[in-house]
Amino acid sequence: MIQSMTGFGKATIVACNKKITAEIKSLNSKQMDLQVKVPLLYRELELELRNTVARELGRGKVDVYITSESIDTAGAAQLNIDMLRSYKCQVENLSQQLGLPEPDDWYATLLRMPDVFKQDLNAEVAQEELDGVREVVRHALEATVEFRNQEGEKLYHFFKEKIAAIQQLLDSIGQFEVTRTEKIKARLIEQLEQLEQVDYDKNRLEQELIFYIEKLDITEEKTRLQNHLNYFIETLDNAKRQGKKLGFITQEMGREINTTGSKSNQAEMQRIVVGMKDNLEQIKEQVLNVL
């Protein structure tokens, strides 16, 4: 079953008196476009987590957010009073020098300043806590993959429906091909007969008509389009990460449909071709979401 590149997964665990949360968002992209944001305390895990996520998700625009908050008030981050005092002094000096009013809400202003909370970035993180980060990312990945599978199943049924619609339209072309040849021949002869004092060799005309009608023959295009439809379904049923291949197949289908349209030379067949193009465009739009 195919898999979509659209997905979302979230997981939370508790380790070392901290609630660690991992959130993963995934959208479609031609390549793996991965952004990982982790607290500075876990920066040593960033490369490992990037490799894990890339290996599991394969392709897409993926954002990974990891947060950590203490559930033990004794271990909560402490305000950096010296830093806050320095910021307040600087803002007061700025107000005097530029003639600007001081902030109405000092708390809101100061707490937005960088590094106002004390963090011991050099403290060694317990192995249990690092393992917790790895575990929560694995759980979030599992949820993301499950989401992708569900979206992939929806796409699978959508593609089946659209390919069946193109197949039905392709099968309906045959009924117009025989009458099309007769209509073309009749129209050309009628136009010749309307020309006064023009004599023509009927045998030569017959040869030219045969040559002209052969140029408009769409048998090869129909055969190739049928092969592409079959190959699309075969790939759909047997591949998990073949979004690019499905995209290539739709391009080939488009070529055959366009050539059929240029050769049709009949209103009924042109309408059929327009219907096939409409279904194919819908397939192309959704193929971009397939992993």
Cα(72)–Cα(126) distance, integer angstroms = 16
Mean pLDDT score, 86-92: 88
pLDDT band (50, 70, 90) for residue 211: low
Question: Residue 40: what pLDDT?
Answer: 82
Q: What is the pLDDT of residues 109-151, one digit of tens each?
A: 888 787 676 655 555 778 898 999 999 999 999 999 999 999 9
Distance CA(134)–CA(225), nearest Å, equals 48
On whether the pTM is more than 0.75, the answer is: no
**pLDDT tens digit sequence for 261-289:** 888 777 888 899 999 999 999 999 999 99
Asked if pLDDT for residue 176 goes beyond 90, the answer is: no
On the question of pLDDT at 69 being above 90, the answer is: no
- Predicted confidence band at 220 (pLDDT cuts at 50, 70, 90)? confident
Q: What does the pLDDT read at residue 96? A: 87
Q: Is residue 21 a contact partner of residue 143, using CB atoms and an 8 Å limit?
A: no
Q: What is the pLDDT of residue 209?
A: 64
Q: Report pLDDT digits (tens) over 223-235.
A: 999 999 999 999 9
Give the Cα separation of 135 and 128 in Å (integer): 10
Take residue 115 and report the two structure tokens written for it.
Answer: 């590094």
Which stretches does DSSP call E strand in the chain? 7-15, 18-27, 32-37, 60-70, 78-79, 117-118
Handedness of CA 49, 52, 54, 60 (dihedral sign): negative
Structural domains of the chain ordered from first start: 7-75+125-150 (3.30.230), 78-111 (no CATH), 152-287 (no CATH)
Q: Kindly tell me the sign of the dihedral angle through the C-alpha atoms of 253, 259, 260, 262.
A: positive
**Residue 14, helix vs strand vs coil:** strand
**Rounded mean pLDDT, 83-104:** 87
Find the distance separating the first CA and the last CA of the chain, reported in whole Å.
11
- What is the mean predicted confidence (pLDDT) over 10-33? 92
Contact assessment for residue 147 and residue 57, using Cβ atoms and an 8 Å cutoff: no
